Structure 1
Amino acid sequence: MSPVLALGTAAALLVLATVIGIVLRRRDGRRRDGGALYFDPVDAAAGELGSRATLVQFSTEMCARCPQVRRLLDAYAADSDGLRHVEVDLTHRPDLSARYKVLQTPTTFVVDRSGAVRARFRGVPHRHALTEALAAV
């Protein structure tokens, strides 16, 4: 392989990796539709949902960003009546990641009082997107 071809291939791979990284970073923390998922409160240690809505955080023990999300969601729950925050540790319940289609941690669901997932966030939720999702419940 010629040095020019090798250098061109390396540059193309670098550009491709950069574009993929930028796309993934821009999608992180944005609100997505909850689909037809229903959250079963038995899957959380708390066992019950909030009277208005529940913020369900899926995390693992080795997750670096999960404590940041925990503090954010705890603050939201403390400031709002009828809003509850529960955390599900997927380290001890890996079966739930398949059931709820959780591919990364942290993942946050906004669940209404009937258990329907109204919105989901991958990564650290953007504050304004979380506020909009809660207003829609």
Structure 2
Amino acid sequence: MGETVRPDDLGADLGEKATLLQFSSAFCAPCRATRRILGEVSDMVEGVAHVELDAEAHLDLVRRLKIVRTPTVLVLDEAGRVVRRATGAPRKPDVIAALGEAIP
């Protein structure tokens, strides 16, 4: 995918090992379920951060990363490189599998 996200893009630190970056919008019901799932996974896996951004408040980043719907989740490695992306509410096993690609 090649795109890199920096802490100053997020207004938050990247995870020590990986970051689950969630783009949400105010009236998005699947975004709430996604927030819960990603929060549970980041609590389970040491060194993984979950960062949720309001897509409307981060339009430059949304355009740069070609985010077209919410929720969109990007899995970032420790350097902020996008290694996986998915739209819609994810399943917990899929998130854990995607982290396996990001964490060496």
Alignment TM-score > 0.5, same fold: yes
Unaligned segments of structure 1, at least 5 residues:
1-34
In structure 1, the residue matched to 2:61 is 96
Using the aligned pairs only, state the percent identity. Answer: 37
1:53–1:82 CA contact under 8 A, matched in 2: yes
1:58–1:89 CA contact under 8 A, matched in 2: yes
In structure 2, the residue matched to 1:39 is 5
Runs of 4+ in 1 over 6 A off after TM superposition: none
TM-score (norm 1): 0.70
Counterpart selection for 1:122 from 77, 81, 87: 87
Q: How does 1:125-136 map to 2 (within 5 A)?
A: 125-136=90-101
2:37–2:91 CA contact under 8 A, matched in 1: no
TM-score (norm 2): 0.91
In structure 1, the residue matched to 2:41 is 76
Pick the structure with greater CA Rg: 1
Structure 1 position 128, deviation (Å): 2.4
Unaligned segments of structure 2, at least 5 residues:
none
In structure 1, the residue matched to 2:76 is 111
How far apart are the structure 1 equivalents of 2:81 and 2:91? 21
Q: Secondary structure at the match of 1:111?
A: strand
1:43–1:88 CA contact under 8 A, matched in 2: no
RMSD: 1.1
Structure 1 position 44, deviation (Å): 1.6
